[in-house]
A and B are shown apart, each in its own frame.
Chain A
Amino acid sequence: MSTANANITLFDDEFLKKLEYLNIISKRLFAGQLRAERRTRRRGAGLEFADYRQYVAGDDFRYLDWKAYLRLNRLILKLFEEEEDLPIYFFVDSSQSMNYGQPTKLDYARRVAAALCYIGLANLDRVNVISFADGVKTELPPQRGKGRIFKIFRMLTDITPSGETDARTSFKTYCTETRRRGLAVVISDFFDSHGFEAALDILRHFRHDIFVVHIASHEEIDPALRGELLLVDAENNATREITITPSLLTAYKAEYAKYCEAVESYCGKYQLGYVRTTTDFPFEELVLKVFRQGRFLK
């Protein structure tokens, strides 16, 4: 569960220093609004040489290639790649199902989001944080620069789990507003009765570069359930009487594995980044190693 001082416990200073050396990778190039350290397709005042073209009236003659003029007697303009910021959208699932496990999946998601946000801010990217359940619950305006990290921490710690997951509606609501395309990081357990595929389809439709962080709890993977039980769904309070037998547990585990595989297959099919982790997996190792191995960070 979130607490008031969760920002203190999200991660320590030493971990923050390690994060500063990381950079979020996007497979696509997106147009930014402000100069930054990320290449764009736009030609501009960057340092990296891109191309030549004929000088036309009105061009900045500071970029004329005088050596070429002397050799060719033609005015040729040097073009440079513009370096801009990257819009990154962190969609954090804050439905009631995320309030499960020890630690809870939401706590784990907060920390993952916070770490990635910090990396993005350190690289002067435009970081957006959105918590969602059956709709967009809270939304933090685009943040830029490391100084904004505490605002993000506060926003993340203020997220309270509630509601039933409806990612499709949430993403649709958010993306239909005028937004720039960018990197969409979805942090969720993907227990969505409306189907996770429809939700991710929305993001794909809006041509976001998508990275999926699938968080699972050990209690879900291998539930310690025995005997006569009344199962209560945390999201919608639906109940079901059940007798847990070893064969039933085996069937459940197989179903869970099948479900995770379906999420992963979907991501593989559409070349989406995918990382699955459990809440008992060391968080620092996830960020510093797994994300890098998954080529989400460099």
Chain B
Amino acid sequence: MTFLALTALQTALLAALTAGTIIALYFLKLRHRRVVISSSILWKRVLDERQSHSLWEKLRRIISIAIAITIALLIALALARPEIESLTGKNERVVIVLDSSPTMNTQTAGGRTRWQHALEAAEGLLATGGPTTEFRVIDTAGSTASAFTTDRNEVRRLLEEMTPKTADPHFPKVDATGSQIYFVSDGVTLHTTPSSVKRISVYEPAENVGITAFEIRSIPSTPLGYEAYLEIQNFGRPAEVGVVLSGTGGQRINRTVRLETEQIYKDVFDLSQFSGGGVRATIQSKDDALGLDDVAFAYLPIKRKTRTLLVTRGNQFLETLLKLDGYVDLTVVDPAGYRESPTIDAYIFDRFAPPSPPARPALIIGTPAAPWLKPVTGDVRKPEIATWSEKHPVMQYVSVHDVSIERASRIDPSGLTVIAASKQTPLIVASEKPKWVMLTFDLQSSDFPFHVGFPVFIENVLTWFSREQLALKRSPGIVDVPLAESQIRTIDGTVVPSTQQLGQTLFETRQPGLYSATQGDQRIHVAVNLANPTFSDVNRSVFKTDRTAATQNYWLRRELWFYMLAAAAVLITIEWFTYHRRMTL
């Protein structure tokens, strides 16, 4: 036996002092009250008869003092926090892995979520073990991983701060040597765990219909035409599902569909009647247990003509194309007549560049000489497009693999974003600040204007310059926005705390929503949606049939002082009962 609060010597002294005090107090207690009676004849007869026949009478005093000393010693030694290895499990290490998948937000029949049940189970584990038992808490999202500590309160604080995440869950790598690992989970997203792990189930079957996909996409054949794609799946019993698409302008589309178990509903919605802004898709079904996937957001760009100034000595292809574009308000001037205007949204410089960069974005065709542009270092004949970035906004739906170019200029691409390039020189480059896109070849020395992707390319460039873009798609959790130093706001204008990291703005959200990141004139919309069938299928649990998932019997392994105080309380009760009935002294 060891003592955590006192040394062995201190404990012995405490025990001796306690016992001595109790004995002294006991004899003080036994100073009898003096009472004069008329005659002791009858009392003497009674007492002589009883004492001669009762062993209890002889032992009563000894038993009474033994009980009193036992009670005092139990309390005194409890203060010393004794520990017996065989009873309290010394040096035990417990790792609690909490499944922080979004499915843990699923409500159970009792109205609480699986996550709350998981926290309760973790709390139960904390109540086990001895005083030196070390605990560690880890989640499956990789966002929480505490060190081993004996401070249960610290672990509890950590548990309070933890929430389910939307990051792809994975079972953490934990050194199981000398540790007992408990995995508290609903068994939906993580099906396999190491064999040494004891699993604690918080799974309960639940009804759920979830949005598994929602996005607004442009219609390539229609400039500034958009449609919404919605995908819903039923992961519970057959249900009637109400579907509502609503826009910020008050537009609304209602549908009601009946979905059988595991049935997927897919639909495309025409948004031509919607004005620009946020679009929300919501579904409603009976007894739905997971609200995270019942709503999804997207952003519909606002339709507005781009006031475009084409500066050219004459370019039939461009002029024709831009005049035919219903969303372009075109003005054509020759280089001599160029004047920068605040009413212009975008410039197109055809083999011309002003001496200073314009305040608005510009598409530069050819490699005109200007101080703010890269100087030409040579020519490349018949360059072949070797690489291009399909992810860049200006290249969306554009294929340039078979574009032929007669001649291109060679420039230094440092500091620029190369969108398309041959092995010898970049062919399409872009600059973020000032914002411009440059083709290092002349359209008239290329067949690019004859390709079907050329109008789309021009449309993409103008969109990237000044038109609003579709929202970025993200999942709840830590959201990254590729716009440095930007301010994040919710759809109703509330500022969301954010941090900067590697030129990106990061913010955290647990709920689906539509956010906007603004930095100067730049604005990016971010649609945060769960939209993941893996997370919506809340009944795909291994615990349906896995009988190894069992909760533990905790309370028997509390610290020893707890049982000592409990025993003292019981003895005090017995002593109180017997004392008042004069069984003990």
Contact = CB atoms under 8 A, between A and B. Distances in A.
A156 B60 CA distance: 48
Interface string B440-460: 000000000000000000000
A248 B32 CA distance: 17
A233 B46 CA distance: 15
B581 A233 contact: no
B40 to A, nearest CB: 4
Given A242-B43, A248-B50, A232 B34 contact: yes
A223 to B, nearest CB: 7
A100 B38 contact: yes
A189 B38 CA distance: 10
B583 interface: yes
Most chain B CB neighbours (cut-off 10 Å) among A99, A189, A245: A245
B433 interface: no
A230 B37 contact: no
A255 B50 CA distance: 12
B42 A252 contact: yes
A34 to B, nearest CB: 40
B129 to A, nearest CB: 46
Interface string B13-49: 0000000000000000111111111111111111101
A44 interface: no
A163 interface: no
Interface in A219-264: 219-220, 223, 225, 227-235, 238, 240-248, 251-252, 255-256, 259
B34 A233 contact: no
B582 A243 contact: yes
B585 interface: yes
A230 B46 contact: no
Contacts of A232: 34-37
B39 A235 contact: yes
Contacts of A240: 40, 43-44, 47
Contacts of B40: 231, 233, 238, 240
Interface string A210-221: 000000010110
Interface residues of B, number: 26
A231 B35 CA distance: 5
A97 interface: yes
A55 interface: no
Interface in A130-166: none
A138 B585 CA distance: 47
Contacts of A193: 41
Contacts of A231: 35, 37, 40, 43
A46 interface: no
A252 B50 CA distance: 11
A97 B39 contact: yes
* Interface size range of chain A in the complex: 35 or more
B46 A234 contact: no
Chain A binding surface, main DSSP class: mixed
Contacts of A242: 32, 43, 47
Nearest to A105: B38
Contacts of B38: 97-101, 105, 189, 191, 217, 219-220, 234-235
B327 to A, nearest CB: 104
Contact of B585 (A219, A223, A243, A247): A243
Contacts, number: 87
A101 B33 CA distance: 19
Contact of B39 (A191, A228, A244): A191
A191 B41 contact: yes
A234 B41 CA distance: 11
Nearest to B39: A191
A227 to B, nearest CB: 7
A255 B38 CA distance: 15
A223 B37 contact: yes
A241 B32 contact: yes
A95 to B, nearest CB: 9
A238 B40 CA distance: 8
Given A100-B37, A227-B33, A229-B32, A245 B42 contact: no
Nearest to B64: A243
A238 B34 CA distance: 12
* Residue with the highest number of chain A CB atoms closer than 10 Å, among B42, B47, B49, B50: B42
Nearest to A98: B38
Contact of B32 (A228, A238, A251): A228
B574 to A, nearest CB: 16
Interface string A200-218: 0000000000000000010
Contact of B35 (A220, A229, A235): A229
A228 B61 CA distance: 12
Contact of B582 (A223, A241, A245, A255): A245
B43 A228 contact: no
A242 B30 CA distance: 10
A171 to B, nearest CB: 19
Interface string B45-60: 1110110000000001
A228 B27 CA distance: 12
Nearest to A254: B46
Question: Which of B46, B50, B60 counts the most A-chain CB atoms under 10 A from its CB?
Answer: B46
Interface in A23-79: none
A217 B45 CA distance: 19
B37 A256 contact: no
Nearest to A226: B582
Nearest to A259: B42
Given A243-B585, A248-B582, A255 B42 contact: yes
A64 to B, nearest CB: 64
A100 B39 CA distance: 10
A256 B30 contact: no
A219 B43 CA distance: 14
B35 A248 contact: no
Contacts of A233: 37, 39-40
8 contacts: A193-B41, A229-B32, A229-B34, A230-B32, A230-B34, A235-B38, A241-B32, A245-B581
Given A240-B43, A248-B46, 4 more contacts: A228-B33, A228-B585, A231-B37, A247-B582
Interface of B: 29-47, 49-50, 60, 581-583, 585
Give the 3 A-B CB pairs with smallest separation, nearest first. Answer: A245-B582, A191-B39, A100-B38
Interface of A: 97-101, 105, 189, 191, 193, 217, 219-220, 223, 225, 227-235, 238, 240-248, 251-252, 255-256, 259
